[in-house]
Chains A and B, each alone.
Chain A
């Protein structure tokens, strides 16, 4: 075996390296030295992110074509890393708390393993590797969800998460076994694509695709595979919730795009086009309708993230390099906007233990900066110009309507109507903060440096990347570069 192939897996190696360092440090260092663990991990991770961001991807399929790190894959990994970095910053205070101290190493280790799994999901071009990635991204997350081990809700959330995860894996594997039958005994994406383009569309294939969609729909919390989301988001520690809501979703969305265009692209308009339309409409609408009624901020963010996932999936409908680029940009913007909101929620939770929207009434009087950041995050999530969220929505809508079909126009129209509904509930938060006349329930406090840094990064991202198209250009460029490198390998439709 040619071991130089590992060189192509630079991002995975970096994350694995950080994991090993943290693991060894955590195991062998003394109690005093362990205090340095959060900063050590965060700094190492920041360096690793920079390395992934600047070292060009090799783009050569390795291990017999099972794995490829195209520029687009590399870019999405870098973007996910930004999210993880912000999550690390947010959680410094939490992992240093009394009940967490003893386990802080585990938090970082488990989280890095899930990230490693997500990297594999993104880069896999063979379903075996993909399933390995998916599982290593799912199972440790269940442990993380249960991390507040003295809290009943945390356990309940973990049980619900693991049950649904197992069930969804089963469905996914069932679907894949059908696909295996169609492909004539291969699990390579390219082989499946070729086999499907020759064969006819049958009922069994539809079942297979529906099952694969359902399996991935679990990670993305698409309706009707979303029911675990609210309970798990509410019960999990807030750091984990924010991680689940953005990073895990971003990786799954990218993998979804790759699988559906590269494996099932040939049967697109016959088989999964309408399936996806239905799921997207259901996801956006149901997410919105539930979000309207939520009082608990974490549940609120759960349903908001469900409907955001629907918008994200619009990029997959576009089925073009523009769609993928817009989707990646959407993921980035969603990361900074959502994590900005979570940073505020988390800071307030740790300082005062308050989590309800009513508690935010009159917040601007006591904590103007947090109010300001929360308002920006809500505006960005709702897609109000000139914040980044507007441009990400706009670009993803543009990529969809660019194909010019009537059905897609209708889809975008429904998405637009839902944007208005979402504006309603996002503005409920803003209204509570700025307009509600009640006496503030949260007193003034000064949050810790790390979470303030996380907040600043998010706010800067929301404001700055609305005005400067650098990230979007980066996404589009990387997608274009990937297309060039992959064209010769498989069918022309395929991107990534």
Chain B
């Protein structure tokens, strides 16, 4: 494949970032918006061309004997520190990176378009588009990375872009602290990631994904002996690498940044904190999947973390008021779903049916469909917030007749996430659940329950926002549907969510490149539909019309409600650890040392330098005679000193 298109895919967004970032101040909003949208539109078209070439051209580079290949379009040496430590930069095309190209550019384009309406009156509009371009560049660079170090670099870059965009309204203290929180928590997790990379590459002598994953057993052969605290070095490496994914994908206990990240502009939440960046952790595990398979215990770790997180987030989502927070917790829960699905993907054949890798395919499938419908839901939430100027459902209610487009598209999103056929979420979730049941019925039952909760809290929000009772404020300020720039992406994404489930996903993406024919497992499918319907039905009963049951329920178990509402006190726990223990005890002593020992040394040196400088100023007195004397004395003294040294 020609390298022009891949290079352009990366070059256009970064150029846009530079152009808008440097020249944005002087541009009109319109120009900046058009530039951003056109740049991203072009990138999207190119990404589609590349992805479709990869999937459909039948080129033996991409598909050989029916097996999809991993192909490095280019891979150049960037930094050769030593012979062993060489960092490359490249562009890897394989089933999942091609899919991610489509997901990222599609959602990013929708968000660019949507933001034109949503951010119209915000100051710093040009800066906003610059950051969006930077994010898109970083995310694209992340998914096409040919080696884990390149991935790490772009991983940090998406972290930076996320930080910049969460803190976009930098005059709001809450936005500033949310951006700091997001950056610090994910950066902390990335420390684990980096250590994991170093441990892994120390034993394998390579960063390259293809080398690592094509034949992991042989590459990892030398790690057998080394152990640390009862686990092999390789297990540690893989768990630590997964820690990075836990940070970015907001898995328990590193999830605390994501709900706060909703302080950013809503389109940003749709792009970064729902569809693309937060699935980077899933993508990372998928990318390293063959290596994870060598260490089943690390996959079990992934499963357990995912299962706990999925339930936790779903439970919390039931007790939130802010609709963006509900969506944030729903995102955490859904990503955890994908994690579990990846975690259970490795298994021996059961009763002749080879389930190995089904979970992998399902996870990627869900990543794709989730990106679409969650972006849809977030953008819909943005339209709602745009209309009523509040994030809380208490300010909404009965909106169905004021905002029909938003209502219908939002409903489609809710149906998709709840797993009702024929919407896309049903198909992907069904495959995931099938994989979980195939591994162990415990996982399946647990995640089915989470799926039921998902249907419940999504429809709780839906009914409270669109039905319940009409908010009296509408008389003063009549809500209406958003302008076309905002409605168009909603409609497109809703359409995608309706049909995406019918994509024969297994033909394109499997863990080993061989096609897998998707077939619905009737028992699993029927069970999950019934569970989803039960969840929706309860939500309907409780929240369709205004009634006192929810309040009474809440008063019946105030502790539980309060605990769920306050996210089971995770933030308080973190607050205690960071403020009381780390800041209060550890940092205070370090600060004392810093001020009284290190600073004092530096101040002392500066003082000495100033004094020395003052004391020799007489040397430069302006008289040429003195200069010449110094000159001559200097020469003589030099000779004398050397002579003395010799003797």
Contact = CB atoms under 8 A, between A and B. Distances in A.
Interface of A: 159-160, 163-164, 167-168, 171, 201, 203, 206-207, 209-211, 213-214, 217-218, 223-225, 227-228, 230-231, 270-272, 274-275, 278-279, 286, 288-290, 292-293, 421, 424
A225 B631 contact: yes
B616 A214 contact: no
Given A206-B642, A272-B642, A290 B632 contact: no
B627 A160 contact: yes
Contacts of B628: 163-164, 167
A224 B631 contact: yes
B630 A224 contact: yes
Nearest to B606: A424
B643 A206 contact: yes
Nearest to A272: B642
Contacts of B635: 171, 210-211, 213-214, 225
Given A160-B627, A231-B622, A289-B609, A224 B633 contact: yes
17 contacts: A159-B624, A160-B624, A164-B624, A171-B631, A201-B646, A203-B639, A214-B631, A218-B631, A224-B634, A225-B635, A227-B620, A274-B641, A275-B641, A278-B641, A290-B613, A290-B620, A424-B606
B610 A292 contact: yes
Contact of A293 (B617, B626, B632, B638): B617
Closest 9 CB pairs of A and B: A224-B634, A210-B639, A214-B635, A227-B627, A289-B613, A210-B638, A207-B639, A206-B639, A224-B630
B475 to A, nearest CB: 50
Contacts of A286: 616, 619
Contacts of A230: 620
Contacts of A289: 609, 612-613, 616
Nearest to A163: B624
Contacts of A290: 613, 616-617, 620
A304 to B, nearest CB: 14
B442 interface: no
B270 to A, nearest CB: 35
B21 to A, nearest CB: 15
Contacts of A278: 638, 641
B636 interface: yes
A408 to B, nearest CB: 16
B631 A167 contact: yes
Contacts of B76: none
Contacts of A293: 613-614, 617
Which of A168, A211, A289 has the most chain B CB within a 10 Å cutoff?
A: A289
Contacts of B643: 203, 206
A227 B619 CA distance: 8
Contact of A421 (B609, B617, B641): B609
Contacts of B617: 290, 293
Contacts of B633: 224
A379 to B, nearest CB: 18
B573 interface: no
Given A164-B627, A206-B642, A228-B627, 6 more contacts: A164-B631, A171-B631, A206-B646, A223-B634, A227-B631, A275-B641
Contacts of A275: 638-639, 641-642
B72 to A, nearest CB: 24
Contacts of B632: 167, 171
Contacts of B639: 203, 206-207, 209-211, 275
Contacts of A168: 631
Nearest to B645: A274
Contacts of B626: 227
Contacts of B616: 286, 289-290
B603 to A, nearest CB: 12
A182 to B, nearest CB: 14
Interface of B: 606, 609-610, 612-614, 616-617, 619-620, 622, 624, 626-628, 630-636, 638-639, 641-643, 645-646
Contacts of B636: 207, 210
A371 to B, nearest CB: 15
Contacts of B630: 224, 227
A163 B636 CA distance: 19
A292 B612 CA distance: 11
A270 B646 contact: yes
A159 B316 CA distance: 84
Contacts of A213: 635, 638
A228 B645 CA distance: 30
Given A210-B636, A214-B631, A424-B606, A271 B642 contact: yes
A83 B645 CA distance: 40
A272 B646 CA distance: 11
Most chain A CB inside 10 Å of its own CB: which residue of B606, B610, B619, B628? B628
A228 B619 CA distance: 11
A201 B646 CA distance: 9
Contacts of A424: 606, 609
A475 to B, nearest CB: 20
Contacts of A207: 636, 639
Most chain A CB inside 10 Å of its own CB: which residue of B609, B616, B635: B635
Contacts of B610: 292
A293 B610 CA distance: 9
A253 to B, nearest CB: 18
A286 B630 CA distance: 14
A241 B628 CA distance: 21
Contacts of A218: 631
A290 B612 CA distance: 9
Contacts of A421: 609
A341 B209 CA distance: 46
A424 to B, nearest CB: 7
Nearest to B634: A224
A82 B588 CA distance: 54
Nearest to B636: A210
Contacts of B638: 210, 213-214, 275, 278-279
A421 B610 CA distance: 10
B528 to A, nearest CB: 54
A424 B632 CA distance: 32
Contacts of B613: 289-290, 292-293
Nearest to A160: B624
B507 to A, nearest CB: 44
Nearest to A273: B642
A178 to B, nearest CB: 11
A410 to B, nearest CB: 15
Given A160-B627, A289-B609, A225 B646 contact: no
Contacts of B645: 274
A292 B616 CA distance: 12
B618 to A, nearest CB: 12
Nearest to A213: B638
Nearest to B602: A420
B608 to A, nearest CB: 10
B634 A214 contact: yes
Nearest to B617: A293
A172 to B, nearest CB: 10
B646 to A, nearest CB: 7
A292 B641 CA distance: 29
Contacts of A214: 631, 634-635, 638
A210 B641 CA distance: 10
Contacts of A228: 624, 627
Nearest to A286: B616
Nearest to B626: A227
A288 B606 CA distance: 12
A209 B646 CA distance: 14
A5 B638 CA distance: 40
A200 B111 CA distance: 81
A168 B631 CA distance: 8
A101 B372 CA distance: 72
A225 B612 contact: no
A289 B610 CA distance: 7
A168 B634 CA distance: 12
Nearest to B621: A227
Contacts of A227: 619-620, 626-627, 630-631
